[in-house]
Structures are given as C-alpha cells and as structure tokens.
Structure 1
Amino acid sequence: MPLVPFVVESHGSGVAQDITVQGEHAHRFTSDTYPAFGGEDSSPSPLAYTLGALTSCNQISAQLVAKDLGLRVGAFTFTAQGDLDPSVFVGGAQGDANFRSVSVQATVETDAEGETFDHFVAELERRCPVTQLFRRSGLSYSSTWTPRPLGD
C-alpha cells in the first residue's frame, strides 16, 4: 500500500491556534489551553485532543479488526485519562514533559467473547497508530476493555 500523508496547517498567536486538516474535505478546528498554562480555555487543549485521538483511533481500529475477524461490533463508550506533571511543561524543570500515565476504559457492544474478545482487543491496539504512539513513548499505559452484548 502507498503511504497516506496527513497534513495540517496552523496559525495563531499566544497559545491559541486555528488548524486546518488538508484533504478532499478540509476540516478546521481550534486549540487553546487552560489559564494555568497561559490560555483562555476557549477550545480544547492539544493534550485533550491527543486523548480524543486515542479513543477515536481505537474505535476506527476496532471496526477494521472486527471486519477482518468476522466479528460484529456496535456502540462504543470510552473514558481516557492522561496524568500530566506540569513541572517540566510549565515550570521548565528537568525531566520528561510527557504524560506520566494514560489509561483507557472502553466498552464495546460485540458478539465476541472470551479468548476471541481478548484477541480482538490485542489486535486493534496493535494496529492503532495512536495507541502505538502512546505505548512507545515510555509512559505508563493501561487499557481495560469490556464487552457488552450487541443491542440488536
């Protein structure tokens, strides 16, 4: 398969930005941050967007894997939490500006059970580019996936 480029163009002042995702259908969104980080909290922060990217990429990956494994999936619910020590980011301390830990709680309606469900989750997390960014970044990463019966 050929590489798929993902391109964004951004402009802003202070800590706020307007971001445009290039492509057939250009998408626009904004980012800002909390007042403690110098923002006005007028838009989600880049760190919140990364957690949203994580949950949505997991859901997309789950659809692809379910299709490959012949499984059915329905509705998803996610909670993702990233714990950040701001001493490096805000205060300039020595260390790593990354999240200390990220945890994901996910529930999915599916016909998969037991070992089949476990394989499904392992495969979707292996194939999810955003999960891999988090896992390979050195932070403490955990996820808990719970199956629910399909709501036909």
Structure 2
Amino acid sequence: MPEICRNIYKNARKAKGYTQESAAERLGISVESMRAYETGLRIPNTDIVKLMATIYDAPYLLMLHLEETNDLYRAVIPSVPQYSLLRASSMLASRVFAFADSHADRRLMLIAEDNVVSPEERPEFEEIQNDLDEIVQAALAVKIAKGGEA
C-alpha cells in the first residue's frame, strides 16, 4: 500500500485535533482498528471512511481514499487537488468559460454527430476530452474544497 494511503486517515484525524482514542470512540470502532487503518495494516470499509469524512469534517478524505484504493477510480477520474472554496470555484468558472469561448462544445457535437470519431478527428477529440477532464477536476475540487460543504 502506498505511503500516502497509510497516512490519509491519520492526517484527517489529526487535522481535526482528535486522538486515536477519541476518534475511535466517535467512529464506534476499536483503537486497534484505528491503528490498523492509520498504519496501512487494514483498509477501512466505505461506511467507516464516510463516517470519518463526516466526523473529521474532511470531505476530501473520500476522494483520497478512492484514489488510493481503487484502480478503476484512478483510471476514470482525474486526480483532484484540495483548494480553498474560492480558488476551486474560480478555477471551475475559468475552465468552463474557456471551454465555451473556444466553442469546444460545438466542435464536439460536429465530431459526434455521425457517432464515429474518425482518425482525422481523433486529435481534436482527445484535446476536447482533456479540456473536459480539467472541468471535471475543477468541479470535484469545488465539492471537496476547504470551507465548502460535503
């Protein structure tokens, strides 16, 4: 298991100011389980991670957990940095406006209208996909932003 995975739960707990004992009590788990999660001996199940995110006021923990434990997630979803709500919101707006200003939406529709991406269209299609990945990344950054709601 990657080093970061062993520490994401510990970092979120410490950021909230909880001891292992107080966090374990709030989560309804044993201190031994808490230690196992924080040292990488065990991976917490989804329900525990959701509860950690709520109790620690750390919605970003959900994404970090998925990034570290799920290959499929990493293959589909771009890595999401953690920003302030203001920065994440302005990044999202700027990417959406740039996409619209470049008329990428119209270019995408022209490419897709025959339901085939031809070899000639492939480079532009991939460029549009990259732009969309940046928009998705920025939207998810808003969702998990410091100061935002879960």
Could you tell me the TM-score, scaled by structure 2's length? 0.26
Compare the two structures and name the one with the higher strand fraction: 1
Larger radius of gyration: 2
Q: Higher relative CO (CA 8 A, sep ≥ 6), structure 1 or 2?
A: 2
Compare the two structures and name the one with the higher helix fraction: 2
